[in-house]
Amino acid sequence: MQKKITSAIAAAAIAGAAQASDGISDGVVRIGVLTDMSGAYSGNVGPGSVLATKLAIEEFGGKVLGKPVEMLSADHLNKTDVAAGRAREWMDREKVDVVTELGNSAVALAVMNIAREKGRMTMVTGAGATRITGEDCSPNNVQWVYDTYALAKVGTLPLVEAGAKKWFFVTADYAFGHSLENDGMRFVKEGGGTVAGSARYPFPGNDFASFLLSAQSSKADAVAFASAGADLQNEIKQAREFGLAPKQKLVAMLMSITDVHGVGLEAGQGMTFAETFYWDMDKESRDFAQRFFKASGKMPTALQAGQYSAVLNYLRAVEKSGSDNVDVVMKTLRSMPIHDAFARNAHLREDGKLIHDTYVVEVKAPKDSKADWDYYKIVKTVPGEQAFMPLSESQCKLVKP
């Protein structure tokens, strides 16, 4: 008799837990887009990532499981304290279910910890430090678009193999820049190259003269910029002015289509780098890009397309699972096929990293560009399993030995 009572209590407890995790909490799905709206990365993410989120929500008709989907957005100013304060406010007062974008690795790491503490979810689409799904991984977080390991591997090895054996790095002095530099140096050396040196500048930067002169005097075959956004554009322009190219190969460790647009094809031509999306790949990418362009007058960056993809698949997971409970959504995302305008041959791994195809692209010369935003030639498609860090190397505690 005692066993029957105990079993009944246990069954009731399980049923109660299942019911608690079922459905939409508060009757609303709230998505917070915390991004750089005004700083160095605003062209890569910022207003475009807010727009991409709106497009994903519109694709669902503004509702999921019959409940409204609401979006909040804010500028983190590339400051961890600002980001942490806003994230806490959103989760405590606004009942935000998922905080996303988080372009800036230091910001992403801070907000991930808060979300885990409060039982909420984060979807990192704009930050690339390997720590995000490495030693600082969280069961409540995904890293959707890229990381510095994949950018460095796909972006440097082909150049080393082609003869650029000696490298110099100009690096943004914070978590993302350090991660990109470290991964870049690793793959240069693994490919048989050497590192002549590096120079770290305070982020954000404007005058790169002393750092570029150090790179020039190193006589390196390749000068790699471990930075992004407005900093990267200024570095490329100033490097051309100082005459580093064509004697030295200029290498962008993270470059977007808006960066190419910003520096122009004359300055950017011939640069090769790793990309995760190009608007003119196929019909799916073009259809999404045209919706984005109609609303913004610009083609989407890979990070903005990735933001659309992350939000779209979050809503798909909520719909499929019938719940916005973090554990349920994460489990569903890992079991779902992931395919959309951004993601190809994709799946979500146990460490929270989305594994998907990555591309080696080359910036076209002005004479080869047939229209506005016709900037890239896709040189090679690298399957995700080859581009991203294997689980055997992962320091994520969620990964089974």
CB count in 10 Å sphere of residue 132: 30
Same domain, 187 and 285: no
Same domain, 256 and 166: yes
DSSP H helical ranges for 218-297: 229-241, 257-263, 265-268, 283-296
The helices-and-strands tally (H runs, E runs) of the chain is 14, 15
Cβ-contact 148, 179 below 8 angstroms: yes
At 70 the pLDDT is: 98
CA distances from 335 to 18, 54, 242, 331, 349 (A): 19, 25, 51, 6, 10
Q: Does residue 230 fall inside a structural domain? A: yes
Same domain, 156 and 264: yes
At 22 the pLDDT is: 63
Mean pLDDT of all residues in 356-361: 96
Q: Does residue 70 fall inside a structural domain? A: yes
Q: Which two tokens stand for residue 393?
A: 């190397």
pTM of the model: 0.89
Read off the pLDDT of residues 9-37 as tens digits, 9 standing for 90 and up: 344 333 333 334 468 989 999 999 999 99
Number of domains in the chain: 2
The C-alpha R_g of the chain, in whole angstroms, comes to: 22
Supply the range of the domain harboring residue 126. 29-146+281-357
Q: Match 């690096």 to its residue by tokens.
A: 171
Same domain, 295 and 369: no
Q: Does residue 387 fall inside a structural domain? A: no
Crossing angle of helices 46-59 and 283-296, in 10° steps, is 120
Q: What's the one-letter identity of residue 293?
A: F
Residue 269 belongs to a domain with what CATH number?
3.40.50.2300
Same domain, 203 and 257: yes
At 272 the pLDDT is: 87
Q: Does residue 49 fall inside a structural domain? A: yes
Read off the pLDDT of residues 227-246 as tens digits, 9 standing for 90 and up: 988 999 999 999 999 999 88
Residues of the chain with pLDDT > 70, as a percent, come to 95
Tell whether the model's pLDDT for residue 225 goes beyond 80. yes
- At 72, the pLDDT band (50, 70, 90 cuts) reads very high
Same domain, 130 and 163: no
Q: Does residue 289 fall inside a structural domain? A: yes
What is the Cα–Cα distance from 197 to 194, expressed in whole angstroms?
A: 9
What is the Cα–Cα distance from 30 to 64, expressed in whole angstroms?
A: 11
Q: Are strands 166-172 and 141-143 parallel, antiparallel or unpaired?
A: unpaired
Average pLDDT, the chain: 92
Residues of the chain with pLDDT > 90, as a percent, come to 88
Q: Does residue 218 fall inside a structural domain? A: yes
Same domain, 240 and 363: yes
With left for phi above 0 and alpha for psi between -120 and 50, is residue 333 left, alpha or beta? alpha
Same domain, 103 and 55: yes
Cβ-contact 131, 105 below 8 angstroms: yes
Q: Does residue 340 fall inside a structural domain? A: yes
At 320 the pLDDT is: 97
Same domain, 120 and 195: no
Edge to edge, the sheet with strand 376-382 lists 272-275, 358-363, 376-382
Read off the pLDDT of residues 99-133 as tens digits, 9 standing for 90 and up: 999 999 999 999 999 999 999 999 999 999 999 99
Q: Does residue 164 fall inside a structural domain? A: yes
Read off the pLDDT of residues 154-171 as tens digits, 9 standing for 90 and up: 999 989 999 999 999 999
Same domain, 116 and 133: yes
Same domain, 374 and 226: yes
Cβ-contact 131, 337 below 8 angstroms: no
Which stretches of 254-353 are assigned E, i.e. beta strand? 272-275, 347-348
Q: Match 């750092």 to its residue by tokens.
A: 211
Same domain, 169 and 43: no
DSSP H helical ranges for 191-278: 209-217, 229-241, 257-263, 265-268
What is the Cα–Cα distance from 94 to 224, expressed in whole angstroms?
A: 42
